[in-house]
Chains A and B, each alone.
Chain A
Amino acid sequence: MPEAIPSTAAYLMLSGTLFAIGLVGVIIRRNMITVLMAVELMMNAVNINLVAFSHRFASLEGQVFTIFIITVAAGEAAVGLAIIIQLYRLKSTINVDEARSMNG
């Protein structure tokens, strides 16, 4: 065992803070690329959670999951950016407010 395991609470607080920052970013930002980045931030907050618990319970599963999530997130970012490019071609803007043709 290592010298002293730092309290998991610290990691969780960091993760919670990051998640909140990401959530606020998703809700208030109008630039779609920034929104995508904020989504990534939320996802990484979740990753920190997983790693923190993996460390706490001395098991590798959480970290394996994290690696998977990072891999999938790369694909997700690629798709997201492709959508943004298509939107830009269609509307000549990446402001999320312009993309609301599905309103009721």
Chain B
Amino acid sequence: MVSATILLLIPLLPALGALINGVRAAANPVTHKNRTITNAVALGSTGLSALLAAWTVITYVGGGMSSAYQHAYYTWIPAGLGHVGANGIASFAVDFAFRIDTLSCTMLLIVTWIGFLIHVYATGYMAHEEGYTRFFTYLNLFMFMMLLLVLGANYMVMFVGWEGVGLCSYLLIGFYYDKNFAADAGKKAFVANRIGDFGFVLGIFLIFNTFGTADYGKVFALASANPAAYAGIATTICVLLFVGACGKSAQIPLYVWLPDAMAGPTPVSALIHAATMVTAGVYMVVRSNVLFRLSPDAMLVVAVVGAVTAIFAATIGIAQNDIKKVLAYSTVSQLGFMFLAAGVGAFTAAIFHVMTHAFFKACLFLGAGSVIHGCGGEQDMRKMGGLRKYMPKTRMTMLIACIAIAGFPPLAGFFSKDEILATTFEHHGFLYFLGMVAATCTAFYMFRLYFMTFSGDYRAAHVEGHPESEPEHAGHDVIPSHPHLDDGDIHSDKAHGHHVEAHDPHESPWSMTGVLWVLAILAVIGGFVGIPEMFGGAHPTIFQRWLSPVLLPLGGERFEFPEASRMQEALLILSSVAVATLGWFIAFVLYKKDSAFARATRLRLRFAFLHRLLENKYYVDEFYNFVFVGGTLAFSRALSWFDAHIIDGIVNGVRHLTVILFGHGSSLFDKYVVDGAVNGVGYSARGGSRLFRKMQSGFVQNYALVMAGGIVLVAAVYLFTKP
């Protein structure tokens, strides 16, 4: 039996860690001392929380997993009790409740264990940083919020976590807050997320208005018992929820914040912007699968947005030279795959891909962090190369993760991506085609990254003469795009401020490489829980059966996992391996066989326009900047002009009119009679006010004090003279 106390402790321990470290960081913001205490608090709280999470999952599975375990700790929002609304909704009461079922178990294990590993890695990566304790405060706070998000038993608790992780993401992107690009990237993430959250919160309102509750169990029970009644409203609800997911999980059109979010320290990119937070949108869609399945239209929207994002981001990833930017666009693209899966009804494949992606993408990001760490803060892949010699452990683990994400069997990424593509093939031929192209691009840009970083010779010394940086075809120098973004492009981890002087790259400490190995091993074996029948698994796969309790029947009709014929399945697997090989082969020819990249340069010159388009990310940032930022500015200028010309004009016109109409005619009367009276009053007033003008000190706070005193006086008179 799951223990409610232990369940509560899982999120509370990181919260406690954040509190302790937060107080310590506030008391002593820049110190390099007492790092042991910070480590003990941060690692201890997340480690213990991870152990408790494992224990909870074990007890839940041991208890037979017959039904979801739910525990309400207290009534969180007991608003409007006894108040019956027009539609018969009794009250707006929300419990602070946690829910354990197979879906939240999966997410719980991913979040706590990957989170713990990344905490360990960060102790090595951040060792030389100022604000060390502040960093771990934010990281622990993030763990708390993320755990609220996945454990919450209703949409409101999820929303608290949802906003909380957004806050932590903002704080950590802007961790180097004295650098403009980091502060701007943080703001951008916050604004883009706010747009999504607006949709999400409207979706929650609509759920409450329709079902009278925000509790998962009750909402889904109502919807699954009577699908026909809710099919109409479900489309609106799901589209609104999906807007929220677009913001959090960086889908078109709100994906623009995620690449810029790489301005944060690399462990943050791995934990928040690859493994956990950005998958919250996928989790939410899968959590709401009952509602989504009611509405084929909403499902189609999800699938199309996912597929288009997958290919859009993958093509951008091809032309990036910043190692973290490549990984960032790769993350956007992989998230697109997850939504594609959810949109075609392969909810288990979506969560499966969340899991495998957490393994290999965290490994890739942390490997990139290790590379950046070893190269003295350099992020430009054109200035790397040949790191195989210097960082053998990082190289091995990144190679494994590259193979996994490219989708070669039998690594984790193969099984999850194949399941997604196979299900897509069943439903939608064109989306399948998009997915296949995106998969080819994935294999290409991942191996391009690998070859540029680890093969050939180390290029940092003689980069000036390098063909890739000749000014006439380096799009960066030619295109004046807005400066802060470009600043963030290449120099972002210059803020990661150790070893600025040039010397040979070095391997990272064990705390970093050890974590890399754990993640690499997970990236190898993680896929076996979803092994299809073809390779000796079962139908449905272990992972599908594990998650099937979450996929409630609709109106008595059970959720069926599609089963393809052997022949079709074999062909699909062959073709997905073929596209992965194709991507690898192109990268091999362009970047490995030819270590001067002469072929790549020729190719780029041939397709200069296309390359520039991709390198500049289809100019979406410029477009948004022009339309939204420029639009807002133009609107406020228009208002300012309206104020200066129209409002002031009216006021001035009235004055002129008054002067013309009355001024001249009555000036004589005015001069002698009125002025005489007015001056008389004026003189007496001036005499009198000489006494009181000292009260008008100009100190606003004096006025506030007098006002407060007056209110106290009035209140006192009122209270004491009341009969």
* Cβ contact within 8 Å between B705 and A27: yes
The count of chain A contact residues (Cβ–Cβ below 8 Å) is 21
Among the interface residues B699, B700, B708, which one has the most CB atoms of the partner chain A within 10 A? Answer: B700
* Cβ contact within 8 Å between B83 and A60: yes
* Contact residues of B between 677 and 723, Cβ < 8 Å to A: 693-701, 704-705, 708
* Cβ contact within 8 Å between B708 and A23: yes
Q: Is A90 an interface residue (CB 8 A)?
A: no
* Cβ contact within 8 Å between B700 and A60: no
* Cβ contact within 8 Å between A96 and B698: no
Cβ-Cβ contact count across A and B, 8 Å cutoff: 53
CB nearest to B77 among chain A residues? A63
Q: Is B64 an interface residue (CB 8 A)?
A: no
Q: Nearest Cβ in chain A — how far from B467, in angstroms?
A: 47
* Cβ contact within 8 Å between A27 and B78: no
Q: Which chain A residues border B82 with CB–CB below 8 Å? A: 1, 58
Query: Which of A2, A28, A60, A104 is close to B697, meaning CB atoms less than 8 Å apart?
Result: A104
Q: Which chain A residues border B701 with CB–CB below 8 Å? A: 26-28, 35, 96
Q: Is B75 an interface residue (CB 8 A)?
A: yes
Known: A2-B75, A23-B708, A27-B705. A103 touches B698 (CB 8 A): yes
Binary flags per residue of B24-56, CB closer than 8 Å to A gives 1, else 0: 000000000000000000000000000000000
Q: Is B509 an interface residue (CB 8 A)?
A: no
* Cβ contact within 8 Å between A101 and B698: yes
CB nearest to B92 among chain A residues? A60
* Cβ contact within 8 Å between B83 and A100: no
**Separation of A104 and B80 alpha carbons in the complex (Å):** 51
Q: Is B502 an interface residue (CB 8 A)?
A: no
CB nearest to A62 among chain B residues? B79
Q: Which chain B residues border A60 with CB–CB below 8 Å? A: 79-80, 83, 92
Q: Is the interface of B mostly helix, strand, loop or mixed?
A: mixed
* Cβ contact within 8 Å between A58 and B83: yes
Q: Nearest Cβ in chain B — how far from A88, in angstroms?
A: 16
Known: A58-B81, A59-B80. A27 touches B697 (CB 8 A): no
Query: Which of B79, B696, B698, B708 is close to A27, meaning CB atoms less than 8 Å apart?
Result: B708
* Cβ contact within 8 Å between B704 and A58: no
Q: Which chain B residues border A23 with CB–CB below 8 Å? A: 704, 708
**Separation of A28 and B701 alpha carbons in the complex (Å):** 7
**Separation of A60 and B704 alpha carbons in the complex (Å):** 33
**Separation of A1 and B92 alpha carbons in the complex (Å):** 12
Q: Nearest Cβ in chain A — how far from B534, in angstroms?
A: 55
Q: Nearest Cβ in chain A — how far from B644, in angstroms?
A: 16
Q: Which chain B residues border A97 with CB–CB below 8 Å? A: 699
Q: Which chain A residues border B705 with CB–CB below 8 Å? A: 27
**Separation of A97 and B701 alpha carbons in the complex (Å):** 9
Q: Which chain B residues border A2 with CB–CB below 8 Å? A: 75, 78, 81
Q: Is A102 an interface residue (CB 8 A)?
A: yes
Q: Which chain B residues border A54 with CB–CB below 8 Å? A: 79
Q: Which chain A residues border B700 with CB–CB below 8 Å? A: 96, 99-100
* Cβ contact within 8 Å between A103 and B79: no
Q: Which chain A residues border B80 with CB–CB below 8 Å? A: 58-60, 63
* Cβ contact within 8 Å between B696 and A104: yes
Q: Nearest Cβ in chain B — how far from A71, in angstroms?
A: 13
**Separation of A56 and B700 alpha carbons in the complex (Å):** 37
Q: Which chain B residues border A100 with CB–CB below 8 Å? A: 697-700
* Contact residues of A between 7 and 41, Cβ < 8 Å to B: 23, 26-28, 35
**Separation of A10 and B79 alpha carbons in the complex (Å):** 18
* Cβ contact within 8 Å between A96 and B699: yes
**Separation of A101 and B701 alpha carbons in the complex (Å):** 14
* Cβ contact within 8 Å between B78 and A104: no
Q: Nearest Cβ in chain B — how far from A64, in angstroms?
A: 10
Among the interface residues A1, A63, A101, A104, which one has the most CB atoms of the partner chain B within 10 A? Answer: A104
* Cβ contact within 8 Å between A104 and B693: yes
Query: Which of A1, A27, A59, A103 is close to B704, meaning CB atoms less than 8 Å apart?
Result: A27
Q: Nearest Cβ in chain B — how far from A65, in angstroms?
A: 13
CB nearest to A24 among chain B residues? B708
* Contact residues of A between 53 and 104, Cβ < 8 Å to B: 54-55, 58-60, 63, 96-97, 99-104
Q: Which chain B residues border A104 with CB–CB below 8 Å? A: 693-698
* Cβ contact within 8 Å between B698 and A59: no
CB nearest to B78 among chain A residues? A2
Give 14 pairs: A residue, B residue, CB < 8 Å, sorted on A. Answer: A1-B81, A1-B82, A2-B75, A2-B78, A27-B704, A58-B81, A60-B80, A63-B79, A96-B699, A99-B698, A102-B696, A103-B696, A103-B698, A104-B696
Instruction: Give 10 nearest A-B pairs by CB, closest first.
Output: A103-B698, A100-B698, A104-B696, A104-B693, A60-B80, A58-B81, A2-B78, A27-B705, A58-B82, A102-B698
